[in-house]
Structure 1
Amino acid sequence: MSRWLLALHSSSETLGLAVCDAENPAGGTRILSRSMGRQLTNGLISAVEELLPRAEWASIGRLAVSTGPGGFTGTRLTVVMARTLAQQLGCPLHGESSFALMAPRLSVALPASQALEPFSIVQTLPRRGRVAGRYRLLSGSIPVEELERPRLLSEDEDPSPALSMELDVASDVQHLLQRCCHWEQEAAPGPWELVLPIYPTSPVGPV
């Protein structure tokens, strides 16, 4: 009987899902990447069922979810689903920011002399300022360290070096599943209560 590892990512208009057998992760990874937009509210569960039939959900052994930053509703939906599954199944859950997931991919744009130095990933929000997180590449099975989780920058902050946020949900959810495999190999604890969405700005404006 398979024991599944499941990764979920919906910090943008695109839903990303990835699953593999914990006992044989190299035996095949199934990935779904689909533009959902507002259809995510009603389509999330059916999309997960498409990748992993509901009859197999009881065999989920570990979950990982992108915690944002990103769209308020999309991020909340997958985080809530992942927390609910982890609580009901009694399995570990891990959260990783969407910026941390893309950091190894974006870091190839850094000059070789800065490859191991801290860098920022920055996203400009229409009418709301800029959000940034700080990262450093590592060697070995953990590719990146999040030095500072994404937050809203003040007007006078200008982090350097800085890379612009670029979406590639299919790649990033696959990376999230790889991280989930690493946590599985390490038998890392994953208390679901600690996994919360990142909201650098209020969804209702200034408060």
Structure 2
Amino acid sequence: MSWLLALHSSSPVLGVGLRSLEDDIPDQVRQFPLGRDLSGALLESVESLLPAQSWPALARLAVATGPGGFTGTRLTVVLARTLAQQLEIPLDGVGSFLLVARRLHLAGPTWLSQALPRRGVVAGVYGPCPEALGGMAQRREPRLYEDSEALRAAEPDLPVLAAEVDVERDVVQLLDLSAEAHAAAVPAPWQPVLPLYPTAPVPL
């Protein structure tokens, strides 16, 4: 049995997904509302789906790279990078906003935004792209803007939607995208996979 493991911690709820790459069995997706307790419970949460002794059966990994909380996103990315390096398997790093874009089935280029109290708005542009794996692509990388008016000044003709995380459904999107990459034998080295946090307190 070979497995695909997906990790998503771009919100206070950790999402962990497991999919068989050989048998037609249902995905396992669990949510863990850990908040700031993520650092102490991350490994235990992953092992609740796939015990450590079974990690050599992993064929591919996927991790949501943010935007999200600095510590939470960084922890899961570091774990995913470490596992991919040690097991010598591909690692797909996927932006959390791209997962939302896929779930919303955007019909055209659209701003996806997330308000940060007292800091501004993190937003990026996403839309359909036949050439992209999964048919959806990031067109403008998420970054911090002063407010929604700044988005309209940058791309005045595009609609603006909230990038609301739905952990369970977004983990499924992450599994789907990584499974497509596996089926197409898309290379995915672990080295370029880094957390995306537009207001990081220190350089990444």
Task: State the TM-score, normalizing by the size of structure 2.
Answer: 0.90
Residue 89 of structure 2 is aligned to residue 91 of structure 1: yes
The aligned counterpart of 2:174 is 176
Distance 1:173 1:148, change over 3 A: same
Distance 1:87 1:70 in 2: 24
Residue 37 of structure 2 is aligned to residue 39 of structure 1: yes
The aligned counterpart of 1:51 is 49
Q: Indicate which of 110, 131, 142 corresponds to 2:122.
A: 131
Could you say what secondary structure the match of 1:201 adopts?
A: coil
- Is there any run of 5+ residues in structure 1 with no aligned partner, and where? 109-114
- Alpha-carbon displacement from aligned partner over 1:19-77 (angstroms, at most 9, x marks no partner): 111112x3221111121111111000000000111111011110010000011110001
Distance 2:141 2:151 in 1: 15
Could you say what secondary structure the match of 2:22 adopts?
A: coil
Q: CA deviation at 1:153?
A: 2.1
Could you say what secondary structure the match of 1:120 adopts?
A: strand
Distance 1:184 1:105 in 2: 20
Kindly report which structure 2 residues correspond to 1:22-171, keeping only aligned pairs within 5 A, or say none.
22-24=21-23, 26-107=24-105, 115=107, 117-138=108-129, 142-154=134-146, 156-158=150-152, 159=155, 160-171=158-169
**Identical positions, percent:** 48
**Contact 1:106–1:163 (8 Å) recurs in 2:** no
- Counterpart of 2:196, as a letter, is I
Q: CA deviation at 1:152?
A: 1.3
Task: State the TM-score, normalizing by the size of structure 1.
Answer: 0.89
The aligned counterpart of 1:111 is none
Distance 2:20 2:151 in 1: 44
Distance 2:2 2:124 in 1: 34
Could you say what secondary structure the match of 2:191 adopts?
A: helix
Distance 1:5 1:165 in 2: 25
**Which aligned runs of 4 or more in structure 1 are off by greater than 6 angstroms?**
none
Question: How many residues end up aligned between the 2 structures?
Answer: 196
- Counterpart of 2:142, as a letter, is P
Distance 2:151 2:42 in 1: 37
**Contact 2:13–2:33 (8 Å) recurs in 1:** yes
Kindly report which structure 2 residues correspond to 1:16-27, keeping only aligned pairs within 5 A, or say none.
16-24=15-23, 26-27=24-25
Distance 1:169 1:194 in 2: 24
Distance 1:63 1:142 in 2: 17
